[in-house]
Each structure stands twice: as C-alpha cells, then as structure tokens.
Amino acid sequence: MDGSIQKLFLAVVLLFALLIGWTSRWTVFSATALDNNPRNQLGYFRSLMVDRGRILADDGTVLARSVKAGGGTWSRTYPQGSLFSQTVGYYNARQGQKAGLERFWSGQLEGTSTGVSSVFGPLGTGTQVGNDVHTTLDPAGQQLARRLLAGRIGSVVAIVPQTGAIPVMYSNPSYDDNRPLAPCPANSQGVGCQTNLATQAELPPGSTFKIVTTTAALSTGRYTPQSTIVGNSPLTVSGVPLENDGNQSWGPVSLTTGLTYSINTVYAQVGEAIGRQTMFSYMKRFGFYSTPPLDYPAGQMTVSGERINGKLVPVTNDNVDLGRTAIGQANLTVTPLQMAMVVATVADGGTLMKPYLVTRSVNQVGQTVTTTTPTVYSHVMKPQIASELAGMMTKVVEEGTGTAANLQGLSGQVAGKTGTAQVGGPSSILDDAWFIGFAPVAHPKVAVAVVLTDIPNGYGGTYAAPIAAQMMKALLAEGL
C-alpha cells in the first residue's frame, strides 16, 4: 500500500507541475500576445485611471487638465477650448483618440507609476500621475490672432527666430476640444474644423516664396541686390505668357526693386537662371520636402513642396514650371508653419532653428523631466546674405507692396514680404492673402506668417500685412 501512496503523490506532483506550467504559459510565454489581444481592455482601463499632467501656456495658464470622473477614473478638460484646440489637441480615452500636443507628448503627460514598489505592490496612492507639459504658447498672442482673423479662414504662426519657440499658432476654423465629436461650425467650409491649417494646409505661397528664390539667387554669387533685370510684361515662361500685376512693364530694375514691388517677370527670369538644382537644394535647406521638425504629430503635418496630382514632385523634375515656382505659383503648396520658418531663418541671420511648442515637462514633485534645448535645423545662408535680404525686405514694407505693415510705433523696424496667390481657376477673383515678416529689423525678436484664404481680390499687402504687424507689435510690447 505504501508504494501505491508514493506513486499517488508522484501523480499529484505531476498535476501541480502542469498547473505551474500553464500558469507560466499565460504569465510569461503568451503574455505579450494576451496583452495585445483585441478583447483585452486592461490597457484601456489603465488609461482611464491615469491622472494625466496639465498642459500649460507660457504664463502658466492651464490649457488642459484632468478632472476626477468617479471610480478612480479621470477625464480631460480644456479651459481655453477653441482658442488653443488646434495646437493642444485633445485626449479622449473612451474613444481611444488623441491629437495635437496631447498625442505627441502623451508619454510625458501619462508619466510613470509613482510610489515604492514592493512584493505587496505599489505602495503609495496607486494612481499613475503624469508630468505637466509647459508650452511656448502665449495666451495674449493667441487671443489677438483670433481677434484679428475675425472669423475668416486663415492662420497666424509666430516664431522666436533665435530659438524656434512658437508663441502663437492659431488657425480658423477651430473647434472645442472639450467636445471633439461635435459637428464643425459653419465656417469650416468643407476643410473640417479639426484640420490645423497652420501645419496641414496646402496653400500656394504666392510671392512670399520670392524670399526663397532671392536666398538662392544671392547665395550663388551671380546676383546681388543691385543686379539689373528687365521686368517687362508679359514674359513667356514655359511657353505660356506670364504677366506682372496689372500687366505693368517695369523695364530694367534692380533685384531689390523686383522684390519691393513683387515683379513676377523679374523673378521668373531669376528662377530660370539659377536652375532647378539650386532652387531644389535651397528649398530643402528651408525645410521644404520634409515633415516639419516640430514636436507635433507627424500625421497632423503636411510637407511643403511642388505637388502634382497630390504627389510631391522635386523641383528638379522637368514637369515642374521652374519660372512660376520661383514666384510661388505653378503647383507649389506650403503650410503657414513652413513660411514662418522661412522668414524666421532670414531674421536669425540665415540659420533655421528647429521650431518647438514645448519647453519642458515637470513631474508632480516639481522636478524637470525633459527640457527642450534650441537646436539648429540647418544653416540656410550666410549671415551676410541674410542681412542683404533683410534690407530688401525692409524696402518692401517702407515703399513697396507691404506698406500696410508699417504701423505707427514699428516704423522702419519691420521687414517682410507680401503674397497674393490666385486660387480657384483662371476666372476666379479669390486670392490667398499672405504676409511674412519679422521685427525689429536690427535685432529681430519675432517672425510671423499670416495667411487668409479665399479673399475676393485679397492682396496680401492689404489683408495680411496689417494683421502681421499688429501681431508683432503686441508680441514685442509683451517683451517677448
């Protein structure tokens, strides 16, 4: 009998070994597969229980915070709503959706478990508390941008040239990020109000692009601001006549005059003279043909460049109309962010800083977890050339197409370039009105890009330049 009992115990041992084997199967060997099983809601449950950190403006204004939703869960609220929604985005655990900074900085906002771990578990509150994220965004600047756009579709982006910090990024249409699923307001005109125009628009830059062409031209050494070009109209470009504004013939003029009065035929010739390769390489230095290096979800940013049938095509492609590209037409599309980067480069003496929205993340006990250090994106042009270009752009504001930016109190301190891009076919009277500029010229502290879309006879100098100037004036007055 005793032998049988021993064998019986052996059988029990085998059964228990089987149990431990199967337990380890689920806890170790198949654990990852189980964690990723579509029926597994534990990850979702945990996300409901995370006290995400706040998102703060540069003055500490709360842009997003978590509020208790009962049963140990949290939900997100956005006190500033549509004023910041395009940039801040939203986080909706119940729908599993996130956008904007809420998405890009989700890791920091979620943070990691706090408290001391032990065999008996995480001692402490048991709640996962995230880090606060401090942004560069300036509430006064955002409010002014919204007031100046006055409900019109458009975008305002401001950059601090020396660092790449973005104090203002506001676009119409906007939406209330407390209710991301609510229908869009009537003025969104099929764009969809959750499209961030500042980073996702595909707009023709018009004459603001002449800054890129000028940079390339001066950098080749074949042109100086004083180079003379004949600005008669019309001029046959790629087999099709190109006219100046009002079909005005200017005769021989300097490159400076060409920029001041935005003479298309001058710049078409310059573009064709410097060639596709040069144009392409300078565009890339400015950030065209790349996803913008912004701390913002790549899925919510559009690459600027030549687009033929919706596809990016390098300027080196023979199908690209080089002459018209040089004046910001043809099939060139850009984002307001990209044009702000272009003008910030000139303001920063030819160096393009990586733009950024978040300065640092701070944990619950006040320790800084991450800090953004201003980083060079590319050296676009020599300081000498940036300085010459700044001089030419000052003329634009003093006596050219951009005089509306010559506000009292900023007189002689603004450099800029207008852009008026016809949209919607040859017979359309609708224009995208652009202005890009920076101030003060001697020691630039802020660069802005402003665009209003689909304005009837919307000259950039008339519509966008005053907005840009007021933005700069206000931001400078704030002591930015």
Partner 1 sequence: MRARNRELVGLIPASLLLTAGFAAVFIQRSNHLSGLSLTYGAVFLGLCLAGHVFIRIALPYADPYIFPVVAVIACFGLVMVYRIDGATLARQQAQWFVLGLVLFIGTVIFFRDYRKLERYRYVIVTLSLALLVVPRLPVIGESVNGAYLEAHIPGVITFQPVEISKVGLIVFMASYLRDTRLVLAGGRRVLGVTLPPLKHLGPLLLLWGVAMGILILLHEVGSSLMFYGGLLAVLYVATGRLSFVVIGLLAFAGGAWYLATHIPHIDARVVAWLHPFRLSEYKALGGSYQIANAQFIQAAGGLFGQGLGGSIIDVPGSNPVVHWLPAADTDMIYAVIVGELGLFGASALLMCYLVLVQRGMKAAILAGDSFSKLLASGLSTIVALQVFVIVGGVTRVLPLTGVTLPFVSYGGSSILANFVLVALLLLVSDRARRPGVR
Which residues have a catalytic role annotated? 207
Binding status of residue 187 toward partner 1 by CB under 8 A: no
Name residue, tokens 């910030």.
344
Interface residue with partner 1 among 59, 123, 317, 428 (CB under 8 A) is 123
Which of 37-45, 57-65, 161-169, 209-217 is the region at the interface with partner 1 (rule: CB under 8 A)? 37-45
Q: Looking at beta carbons only, is 126 or 391 nearer to partner 1?
A: 126
Strand pairing class (332-333; 351-353): unpaired
Which of 24-32, 167-175, 235-243, 444-452 is the region at the interface with partner 1 (rule: CB under 8 A)? 24-32
Residues 63 to 82 in contact with partner 1, rule: CB under 8 A: 69-73
Interface residue with partner 1 among 12, 298, 376, 429 (CB under 8 A) is 12
Interface residue with partner 1 among 66, 100, 119, 136 (CB under 8 A) is 119
Q: Phi and psi (nearest 5°) for 471?
A: -60, -50
Q: Looking at beta carbons only, is 50 or 330 nearer to partner 1?
A: 50
| Rounded distance between C-alpha atoms, residue 156 and residue 57, angstroms | 17
Q: Looking at beta carbons only, is 65 or 276 nearer to partner 1?
A: 65
Which of 5-13, 213-221, 244-252, 449-457 is the region at the interface with partner 1 (rule: CB under 8 A)? 5-13
Residue 26, token pair as written in the block: 């689920």
Peptide bond into 204 cis (omega under 30): no
Contact 308, 318 (CB under 8 A): no
Contact 171, 197 (CB under 8 A): yes
Q: Phi and psi (nearest 5°) for 80?
A: -90, -10
| Rounded distance between C-alpha atoms, residue 108 and residue 129, angstroms | 10
Q: Looking at beta carbons only, is 73 or 162 nearer to partner 1?
A: 73
Q: Looking at beta carbons only, is 24 or 281 nearer to partner 1?
A: 24
Interface residue with partner 1 among 60, 79, 96, 121 (CB under 8 A) is 121
Q: Which of 407, 425, 443 lies closest to 435 in space, CA to CA?
A: 407
What angle (nearest 5°) sits at the alpha carbon of residue 475, between those of residues 470 and 480? 160
Q: CB of residue 11 vs partner 1: minimum separation in angstroms?
A: 8
Interface residue with partner 1 among 96, 107, 124, 299 (CB under 8 A) is 124
Burial of 133 (0-12, 13-18, 19+ CB in 10 A): buried
| Rounded distance between C-alpha atoms, residue 38 and residue 374, angstroms | 41
Interface residue with partner 1 among 77, 95, 125, 248 (CB under 8 A) is 125
Binding status of residue 112 toward partner 1 by CB under 8 A: no
| Rounded distance between C-alpha atoms, residue 352 and residue 137, angstroms | 20
CB atoms within 10 A of CB 237: 22
Which of 41-49, 186-194, 196-204, 393-401 is the region at the interface with partner 1 (rule: CB under 8 A)? 41-49
Name residue, tokens 């095509």.
313
Q: Which residues bind partner 1 (CB under 8 A)?
A: 1-9, 12-13, 15-16, 18-20, 22-28, 30-31, 34-35, 37, 39-42, 45-46, 48-49, 69-73, 117-126
